[in-house]
Amino acid sequence: DGSIVAFVSEAADLVEGDTNGASDVFIKDRRTGATTRVSVASDGTQSTGPAFGWHTAASLSADGRYVAFSSSASDLVPGDTNGAIDVFVHDRVTGQTTRVSVASDGTEGNLNSFSPGISADGRYVVFYSSASTLVDDDTNNLMDTFVHDRVTGETTRVSVASDGSQGEFGKDWSPAIDGSPSISADGRLVAFVSIASSLVPNDTNGSFDAFVHNRDTGETSLVSASLTGGVGNLASHTAMISADGRYVAFDSGADNLTTEPPRSSDQAWNSVFVRDLQTNTTRAIVQSWRGSEWERGYLGSISANGRYVAFRSDSNQIIFGDREFIEHADRVFVADLWNGTTRVMSLEHIRGEAVATSTYPKLSSDGSTLAFTTYFKSPPNNPELLSGLAAGFAVNVTD
């Protein structure tokens, strides 16, 4: 409901006893005003290594009880000897911190794991990993997408073809992912991005594509599909699935996904799209105010029912008569897909403070609350508005 906000910060003055000189994961309770650090061991001991945002600061369960995050610290759980980034879950009720980037028998990953997403009830955690020790027969030398079941302890690889075969790519390409994976509320559907060319038939674009894997049926399907059902003609990134599992939002530079053209033919003209998995149709979200072409933008998040999509853009063609345009800077917008409107949420000035750019917008499940990161031209002087200030960056929340 937007009352709990998770973020990563290097600030040492948000909680008492923060002396590790590293970035940590914090929770801000907007109801009580309390800020707590959650990237800690089960006994409350602070970590010696930094927590990593890597596109997502952390991921919260629906009730805010469970927080999934990645960290290079080796002292959050016993037996962490891999010297790698791992994925952890902190229970805010019990204080327990557990590592989830492990094999089903508890074996730790031999390489980095990161970018976690957690299901609504906190049971399932999805993440990317380059480790080859999390499942049997992982021999593709690619980063893969995994799901860990916190109840059974089972870890499965979901970036596979519908017949269960692992993803393959015809080049020596290690980073086989981009963006962050996401999981539906019930843990059944997983959206992810991969450069693997063997997950669906006729994937010949040699680039990143967005996919959805159904954990019940084992089927993997293409999300960033062209109008004819083929692959996009340029890369797609950052697939996010709505909690109800119907919609997948993603970034793409492809111009063959919808009937509307981009305003520019520049190949760097990345924008945001939403795929309806029931109707198998795709729509462009960052619309020009003219209504006949789409603008440049980057995905932030999608609400639980798919109605609202948050994104960032440096375009001044989204809102007619835009007077808050900041040249060469991103602003945050929210599109309402039900009524076809788009609102700009970040301004040139916030309570008198000059804004340089705003990024990483995240919506609450119901779409009523938006959190985003702002970089100020000078350190802001409004602590009641901001939390997590570090080197000019701050986390803002608006209802």
Q: What pLDDT does residue 157 have?
A: 97
For 115-149, write each residue's pLDDT tens digit.
999 999 999 999 999 999 999 999 998 889 999 99
Enumerate the β-bridge partners of residue 59: 68
What pLDDT digit, counting tens, does each position of 199-225 carry?
999 999 988 999 999 999 999 999 999
Tens of pLDDT, residue by residue over 319-335, are: 766 666 666 678 888 99
Q: How far is CA 394 from CA 92, 274, 335, in A?
A: 23, 29, 23
pLDDT at 356: 64
The reported pLDDT for the residue numbered 321 is 61
Whole-number Cα distances in Å, 40 to 94, 99, 374: 13, 12, 26
pLDDT at residue 77 tops 60: yes
Residue 267 CA to its chain's centroid (Å): 24
**Looking at the predicted structure, is the pLDDT value of residue 308 above 70?**
yes
pLDDT digits (tens, 9 = 90+) for 326-376: 666 788 889 999 999 998 887 655 554 455 677 888 999 999 888 888 776
Least confident of 18-32, 37-51, 279-293: 279-293
* Domain boundaries of the chain, sorted by first residue: 158-398
Cα dihedral 127→128→132→138 (10° resolution): 90
Rounded mean pLDDT, 2-27: 91
Task: Phi first, then psi: give them for residue 35, nearest 5 degrees.
Answer: -115, 130
Q: Among the residues of 51-192, which ranges form H helices?
A: none
Query: Would you identify the CATH topology of the domain 158-398?
Result: Neuraminidase (2.120.10)
